[in-house]
Structure 1
Amino acid sequence: MTHLCKETLVAVVNGQLPGPAIEVREGDTVAINVINKSRYNITIHWHGVKQRLNCWADGVPMITQCPILPNHSMTYRFNVTGQEGTLWWHSHVPSLRATVHGALIIRPRHGAASYPFVKPHREIPVIVGDWWQMDLVQLNKELKNGTYEYNATVAATINGKLGDVHNCSGKIEDGYVLEVEPGKTYLLRIINAALTSEYYFKIAGHRFTVVAADANYVNPYTTDVIAIAPGETVDALLVADASPAGSYYMVAQDIQPPITDYTEPKLIARGTVRYQSSNNGGEDEAPSSSDVPMAPEMPGLHDRMVSFYFHGNLTSQHRRSPVPTHVDDRLFVTLSAGSVCRHGQSCKRRGNIQESIILVTMNDVSFLLPTAAAAAPLLESHYYYGQNKTATGGGVDLHTLPDRPRKKFNFTDSALIHHGPKEERLEPTERAATARRFRHGATVEVVFQSTAVMQSHYNPMHLHGHDMFVLAQGLGNYDAARDVARYNVVDPPVKNTVLVPSLGWAAVWFVADNPGVWYLHCHYEYHASMGMATVFIVDDGTTADSTLPPPPADLPKCGHNNNLTPNELNPHVGKSDVSYINIV
């Protein structure tokens, strides 16, 4: 594809960017045949689909399946019972999801008349993304090696188009055009598919009524701006009630942390909302040169409070599951940064990139897929050998994710962002494959606490296979004695991706009632690639309908492939025997 005068090789699905929308009804069973004609190993993750008793279809390489090799295929089969709204699908191979993604829309079983809001005239997916002028596989390698310099994202996109805020040698980039009829109501299904940025989304002269988030209905509220982080979805009603004589810019602008160690380019995409008239026709028709759209006033580039209040306004409506009344397990998880020495050798500090690698961590551990026995994904090892087998060689050692960080300190002290004595003592970390195991049906509380150690980014934390009740969020350090009283246990929003504020915290509950091995990770790509992840293992229940069935017969097998090395896109070594998990 060519943008901004540069041709870039990208992986896409069915020749489209974004890829095709998958539209189903609640209760449907879905079969999707993925044929890999790319030169990379691929998996597809159905983001937000709970995959009840079907962890095999979750699509995470070496966690739930071996990757689909080039010139191979796999059919994903799953059902969407008990879910309605906007989800999406994307590659779960690092970085490739920037261009391998699309909407997954689940409508009510009995049609749009069942919506808990006015039936819209039309429903429109709006996918916000970013555009990279580099090979995305190379991006992932640079992130893992600690050599990426934060300068390859050049623009934002709306439905794959950059918009007229960008030009190349005087030629204006195409922008997405949404044509509307005066007085009609439209349901915008907004998805953030970007690798790195949370976005503010506005349409000049119009307001939104937010009605759902992450395929869960919320109590409607009206706003002129939507804040959406990577991995999140927001459903919003748009009434075409502005003057039909004008046209109006639709703008997505990235939100940057208030304090950074590097300069980030401002990312912005611009589309147009245009009213139908007898003088213009379809959505692809360009506006006339005399039609100058009205532009919205956007929040400041570093203004994160608009996002904080947007997410704080979400409350649930029509929950399918009751809010738990007790908690069985508690985790306090710091989301931080640190460094390790290359090749396990001693080194001075992170300042010398030849000696150390910068990583990100959960409770001081950076996640690293196990390689000692990469013959099978963790899920397959768990299914066949479980927790009660003793390792006798060739097994997978998963280290227990600690309940809390090893060191207690002022997590949000801004002095920690830059190198100094305070930061230096907190910087050393380690790499390991970590996991937590939960009995079936346990209610788990997780408090995510961001830290200022070498960074000040937000963290959109995505849990596979489960939704989370978002009880509260706050700025600064979490204090249980003070903050538990703030928990919303009446109508908390239900999310699969929870935004932990920059230099703040978020508290969630989830019920571990879906057996399998589920990935928990930050959806900010730098963080996902650099180790802000772990796995949650949910044990079987005592009945057949709470027990994980065996894997499908056509699940891909691990085998030799010279494309990539272990722990990159192809973290397996070609053995055919199944190993087992030993949590230590």
Structure 2
Amino acid sequence: MKFVSVLMLFGLLLCQAWADTNQYDFIIQETPYTRLCSTKNILTVNGQFPGPTIYARKGDTVIVNVQNQGDYNITLHWHGLRQPRNPWSDGPEYITQCPIQPGTNFTYNLLFSEEEGTIWWHAHSDWDRATVHGAIIIHPQENSSFPFPTPYKEIPIILGEWWKSNVSQILADALRTGGAPNSSDAFTINGQPGDLYPCSSSSTFTAQVEYNQTYLLRIINAAVNNEIFFAIAGHPLTVVGTDASYTKPYSTDFIMITPGQTFDALLLTNATNGSLFYIAASSYGSATAVRYDTTTTTAILQYNNSTETPILPALPKFNDTASATEFVAGLRSLASDVDVPQAVDERMTIAVSVNLLTCDPGKTCGGANGDRFAASLNNLSFVPPTTDILEAYYKNISLVYGTGFPADPPAKFNYTGDNLPGYLLFPRRATEVRVVEYNTSLEIVFQGTNVLAAENHPMHIHGYSFYVVGRGFGNFDEEKDPLSYNLVDPPIENTVGVPKSGWAAIRFRATNPGVWFIHCHVDAHTSWGMDTVIIVKNGEGSNEGMLPPPSYMPPC
């Protein structure tokens, strides 16, 4: 097995730009950055925002040594990496490891197996991923090729958010008051807000391109709390992959990308109506009565040294659910990649809700009705433990978690109805997980609810990619809706958008033993408890059990 790791800056990158070293350092540190007319210290990796890009080939192993020279505990997660039998390097804080404390280090062992395309890495502690994140680009194995003509060059595009204030303080204030966190002050493309914000035009990211060439855009939504519309003026895109899995070529004028998702898209530079075009992104916000950052970030696609005024693309309106739905409906896997379970051994329905918790007696909190905002899955608002669940499971430590996460909502109701009864607002708080036997063919239906605020929820499962076999609006009908499932060429994803007031059905086979986090990738919702854990038990074969833990796991 080959060992590969690389440190790269953003820009136009040749397809063969990787090095043959087997280990390198990620140094977590505070770095002063200037954005939106002000300077503040942010948490970075190796002083870069966004952080270094990791390059690998399918099947490689990458070793990353993380040195925490910052002032906060931190962990890193390799989003979309299956990590077969190796949850020890998955990274979510207090789920598979205790945090890397200031002044200490931890080495992650990244096992690349089925992935090919674009995924990413990010901090998985508090909201540190706002500035601690970067791309992971996985090329085909040697003597293999893309399932499309080899592009001329590649352009990583990381979409993010920027706050003028300290992100850790924004989260702390929201958790203290029980209110909604402040929305971001800007969106970014490769760390830069773009020309439409004050004090930003001099540093706007520019992609220099040549006429009549095909470029591969590797698009990542690293935003903390926002789904995003993305487009390039005067240039349709051809989607060829999502979440490190290839898709049938799909032409579109825009992309809707949820937090955590990635898209690979081909760009043909054949414009005839100019030589300077805006790359633009803005939020898709589906909930009503919720504050969104409705600003637009821009980068520039430039054919030559022209100084003409760039053209802006026509992005959908921020609440255009119809456009978001239309885009998602067009995604299909390559038939050669598909092995959808045609029958299932176990079905789960998980109700996804934004909720409230009762404010402490004598206090007024910042959530609706003077209570605290919360969130839940199947009416359980997840309470993070103080000992990580993986260690507790492996060492059989009691009282860290329970195994009572239900396979169905404990109370059935009209999930997407109006004027729902008030008792549904208040979930139970607990640290409950779901245990699954090895090799179980599993179907999960994520059912959105209108309990407090109906919204599109990007649900992410660690350790697995899955087939998105169905989506719809309203309440899932277990008799009728499976009849319209796509069991031929559904998209393979690791983060699925559950439609506002609707549902999404996924299928996968539980062949990766370990402890794996399930959560909404809107960090505000994760902080409120829209999380759970799936524990997949060891199988009976010699290669069907978790790998042993490294001797240097961080202590709690």
- Equivalent in 358, 364, 387 of residue 379 of structure 2: 364
Letter paired with 1:175: T
Shift of 1:121: 0.4
Q: Point out which structure has higher relative CO (alpha carbons under 8 A, 6+ apart).
A: 1
2: CA distance, partners of 1:530 / 1:224: 35
Q: Do the aligned partners of 2:403 and 2:435 also contact (CA within 8 Å) in 1? A: no
**Structure 2 match to 1:261:** 289
**Structure 1 match to 2:7:** none
Deviations 1:203-223 (A, max 9, x none): 111111100000000111111
1: CA distance, partners of 2:477 / 2:155: 42
Q: How many residues align?
A: 524
Letter paired with 1:382: Y
**Structure 1 match to 2:153:** 122
2: CA distance, partners of 1:270 / 1:198: 16
Deviates more, 1:307-316 or 1:40-49: 307-316
Deviations 1:375-420 (A, max 9, x none): x42111211228xxxx5xxx3241411222222222222x34xxxx
**Structure 2 match to 1:451:** 449
**Structure 1 match to 2:21:** none
**Change in 2 beyond 3 A, CA 1:128/1:309:** same
What does 1:60-459 correspond to in 2, within 5 Å?
Answer: 60-110=92-142, 114-168=145-199, 172=201, 174-243=203-272, 245-257=274-286, 259-276=287-304, 280=305, 288=307, 291-317=308-334, 319-320=336-337, 322-342=339-359, 351-353=368-370, 356-370=371-385, 374=386, 376-385=387-396, 391=398, 395-413=399-417, 415-416=418-419, 422-459=420-457
2: CA distance, partners of 1:4 / 1:506: 38
Letter paired with 1:219: K
**Change in 2 beyond 3 A, CA 1:224/1:80:** same
2: CA distance, partners of 1:342 / 1:330: 35
Shift of 1:458: 0.9
What does 1:449-528 correspond to in 2, within 5 Å?
Answer: 449-528=447-526
Deviates more, 1:263-272 or 1:344-353: 344-353
Letter paired with 2:285: Q
- Taking every aligned residue pair, what percent have the same amino acid on both sides? 40
Local SS of the residue matching 2:219: strand
**Change in 2 beyond 3 A, CA 1:83/1:481:** same
Q: Do the aligned partners of 2:174 and 2:181 also contact (CA within 8 Å) in 1? A: no
Shift of 1:303: 0.4
Shift of 1:423: 4.2
Shift of 1:8: 2.6
Letter paired with 1:403: A
Letter paired with 1:272: I
2: CA distance, partners of 1:236 / 1:349: 42
Structure 1 residue runs of 5 or longer lacking an equivalent are 281-286, 417-421, 559-584
**Change in 2 beyond 3 A, CA 1:139/1:186:** same
Deviations 1:296-340 (A, max 9, x none): 111112101111121111111155461112211111111112222
Shift of 1:425: 2.7
**Structure number with bigger Rg:** 1
2: CA distance, partners of 1:351 / 1:225: 35
Runs (4+) of structure 1 exceeding 4 A deviation are: 318-321, 342-352
**Change in 2 beyond 3 A, CA 1:346/1:404:** farther
1: CA distance, partners of 2:98 / 2:512: 21
**Structure 2 match to 1:566:** none
**Change in 2 beyond 3 A, CA 1:208/1:350:** closer
Deviates more, 1:139-148 or 1:509-518: 139-148
Deviations 1:337-373 (A, max 9, x none): 22222459999996453xx322001011100023xxx
Letter paired with 1:412: T
Shift of 1:454: 1.3
**Change in 2 beyond 3 A, CA 1:352/1:325:** closer
Instruction: Kindly report the root-mean-square deviation, in angstroms, between the aligned alpha carbons of the 2 structures.
Output: 2.1
**Change in 2 beyond 3 A, CA 1:172/1:123:** closer
1:20 aligns with 2:18: no
TM-score (norm 2): 0.90
2: CA distance, partners of 1:433 / 1:268: 39
Q: Do the aligned partners of 2:179 and 2:367 also contact (CA within 8 Å) in 1? A: no
2: CA distance, partners of 1:39 / 1:348: 29
TM-score (norm 1): 0.86
